[in-house]
């Protein structure tokens, strides 16, 4: 499952790339540290009343946007698993999600902006750890727009599902899993959800937003802008 979390080129580059510069693996290094920190937190704080293997399987399944889990009650951790689903993995992976590096870059840029106002004499570099790469303002704007589009899509789909006589909690969870192309399971408290009884329009809504979540609406808007506003 972790293969879909890291970059699809990671193993190939690790074996065949001659010049193994850390700058080339900066995203995978960030992802590895994020994965290690998440596993450590789960092991210390969230495995005291359950077997850790159940939590670990759901954790790996969530960060890789696969969604499978064992039939075990993990309702107390469902919200945390949903957050991991939203964060996602690598840019160049088969997983979905907003991508960890986007959220990390936005967070660091926002903190630097706040600190620059509180300490105007200091200079804060928007540089990623373990690399000499600075993220540009244009990229930050794209990342921010991706977050806004996700929030709008989540609100719209949750509203549509709620209007289809699905309770709000299930509608919210199902909207997140649909946009992130993740299977519903006991880890998210939706293992017993019955799709057969849904209205056909609701099923079409789910399919439509699943496509939007997979190809990313921002990409479609940028392509449309290129062809519609040539002059």
Distances (CA, A) of 212 to 25, 37, 226: 29, 30, 19
In the structure encoding, which two tokens stand for residue 190, read together? Answer: 């939706």
Q: Tell me, what's the pLDDT at 125?
A: 65
Six-digit token string for 103: 């959220």
Model pLDDT, residue 189: 84
Positive/negative CA dihedral, 63, 69, 214, 3: positive
229 has pLDDT over 60: no
pLDDT beyond 60 at 231: no
SS3 category, 204: helix
CB 115 within 8 A of CB 124: yes
Q: How far, in Å, CA of 85 to CA of 64, rounded?
A: 7
User: 204: closest CA among 215, 193, 192, 212?
Assistant: 212
**Assigned token pair, 206:** 């789910």
Only one residue has tokens 């804060």, namely 124
Amino acid 227: pLDDT: 59
Token pair listed for 12? 């190939």
Res 16: pLDDT = 66
Q: How far apart are CA 31 and CA 8, in angstroms?
A: 13
* pLDDT computed for residue 114 by the predictor: 81
Residue 103 · residue 87 · CB < 8 Å: yes
pLDDT at 13: 65
**Could you read off the pLDDT of 78-137 as tens digits, one per residue?**
898 999 888 887 766 666 678 888 888 888 888 878 877 777 666 566 677 666 667 777
Q: Could you tell me which residues are beta bridge partners of residue 134?
A: 127
Cβ atoms of residues 103 and 89 within 8 Å? no
Kindly report the average pLDDT of the chain as a whole number: 78
* Three-state secondary structure call for residue 127: strand
Q: Is the pLDDT of residue 170 over 60?
A: yes
pTM of the model: 0.80
User: Is the model's pLDDT at 228 over the cut of 60?
Assistant: no
């Amino acid at each position: 499952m972790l293969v879909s979390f890291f970059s699809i080129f990671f193993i190939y580059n690790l074996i065949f790339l001659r010049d193994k510069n850390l700058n080339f693996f900066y995203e995978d290094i960030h992802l590895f540290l994020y994965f290690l920190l998440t596993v450590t937190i789960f092991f210390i704080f969230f495995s005291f009343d359950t077997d850790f293997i159940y939590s670990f399987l759901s954790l790996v399944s969530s960060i890789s946007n696969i969604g499978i889990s064992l039939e075990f009650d993990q309702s107390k951790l469902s919200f945390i698993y949903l957050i991991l689903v939203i964060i996602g993995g690598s840019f160049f992976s088969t997983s979905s999600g907003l991508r960890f590096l986007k959220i990390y870059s936005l967070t660091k840029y926002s903190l630097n902006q706040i600190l620059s106002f509180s300490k105007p004499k200091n200079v804060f570099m928007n540089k990623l750890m373990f690399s000499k790469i600075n993220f540009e303002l244009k990229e930050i704007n794209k990342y921010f727009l991706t977050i806004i589009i996700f929030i709008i899509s989540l609100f719209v789909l949750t509203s549509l599902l709620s209007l289809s006589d699905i309770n709000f909690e299930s509608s919210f969870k199902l909207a997140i899993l649909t946009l992130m192309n993740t299977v519903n399971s006991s880890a998210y408290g939706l293992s017993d959800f019955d799709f057969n009884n849904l209205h056909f329009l609701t099923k079409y809504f789910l399919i439509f937003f699943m496509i939007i979540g997979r190809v990313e609406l921002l990409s479609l808007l940028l392509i449309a802008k290129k062809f519609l506003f040539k002059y």
